[in-house]
Amino acid sequence: MSVHTDVKRLTIPQLQAMKGEQKIVSLTSYTAPFARILDEVCDFILIGDSTAMVGYDMPDTLSITVDMMANHAKAVVNATQRSAVVVDMPFGSFQESPEAAFRHAAKMLQISGADSVKLEGGVVLADTTRFLVDRGIPVLAHVGLMPQYFNTMGGFKAQGLSDEAAERIYEDALAQEAAGAWGIVIEGTAEPLARRITDAVKIPTIGIGASPDCDGQVLVAEDIFNLTHGRIPKFAQQFSDVAAAIREGATAYADSVRDGSFPTLNHCFGVKK
């Protein structure tokens, strides 16, 4: 049986066509309840490998696997109709060779039905991007602060602070565009680098801690809903307090259970009069 809905999911070419016309809005999501709501406002939803830290309390993004990412992406695809869905290629799934990258990307798209993968890498991973794109897998590139380099960076650090470092990131972005990436996430870079990249490339740039002048913005949803233990990164802002709403609901539930006002017989099955 096929499922038909009137709502059409945004396609990757439609996202690309938004450059210069309107800002592209994206947030991360890892689960169906969140994704269902974000679908109403986002142009694309990213199943970031930040799932590792935000959803599993891991210290960095390195330990999340292809299967975990694919299953989170499946939940998001199932719960959404409108937003395009992009899934991150986790550490170890694409760096070894273009063939390994294709195998893992294809598996994630087959399991989840997502529209595109995202991969961290510039010049060094350009051949991999080309390999995937030529075989039908859209790639969103990610340059600048690449969290999968956590160990070589010695933590999460702003990038492109010197002229030389900025130039390398600029070259990374150009290499990914030339390799066929449909867009570029630019994370944690010193301005005016992201503005310069945005002006130089024909594909959309999606900033996170990069520049207001990027073609779009992405943030980790939990960071803006106060779901990260109050630690809001410098580049984010609290837009609502979901933690407070959950705490209020949980407290009301606990109070009702303890004082015996919940459940009532109305919540029970087959009650005999």
**Residues binding ligand KIV (CB under 6 A):** 28, 46, 48-50, 88, 142, 185, 187, 208, 218, 220
CA atoms of 94 and 120, how far apart (whole Å): 9
The neighbouring-strand residues paired with 129 are none
Annotated binding residues for 3-methyl-2-oxobutanoate: 49-50, 88, 118
CA atoms of 94 and 84, how far apart (whole Å): 22
Contact (CB, 8 A) for 199 and 229: no
Least separation in angstroms between residue 214's CB and ligand KIV is 12
Least separation in angstroms between residue 70's CB and ligand KIV is 15
CA atoms of 233 and 218, how far apart (whole Å): 13
187 catalytic residue (yes or no): yes
Please identify which residue in the block is written with the tokens 């310069």.
196
Tokens found for residue 73: 């992406």
Dihedrals phi, psi of 149, to nearest 5 degrees: -95, 20
Q: Which is nearer to ligand KIV, 39 or 222 (CB)?
A: 222
Neighbours of 202 (CB within 10 A): 8
Q: Which is nearer to ligand KIV, 39 or 49 (CB)?
A: 49
Least separation in angstroms between residue 5's CB and ligand KIV is 27
Q: Which is nearer to ligand KIV, 5 or 152 (CB)?
A: 152
| Position of minimal CB gap to ligand KIV | 48
Among residues 187, 191, 222, 248, which one is catalytic?
A: 187
Least separation in angstroms between residue 53's CB and ligand KIV is 8
Dihedrals phi, psi of 84, to nearest 5 degrees: -70, 155
Q: Which residues of 146-170 are buried (b: 16+ CB within 10 A; e: fewer)?
A: bbbbbeeeeebebbbeeeebbeebb
Q: Which is nearer to ligand KIV, 48 or 216 (CB)?
A: 48
Contact (CB, 8 A) for 44 and 24: yes
Tokens found for residue 99: 């063939």
Q: What is the total residue count of the chain? A: 273
Least separation in angstroms between residue 262's CB and ligand KIV is 37
Q: What is the longest distance spanned by two Cα atoms in the chain?
A: 80
Q: Which is nearer to ligand KIV, 86 or 175 (CB)?
A: 86
Write out the catalytic residue numbers. 187
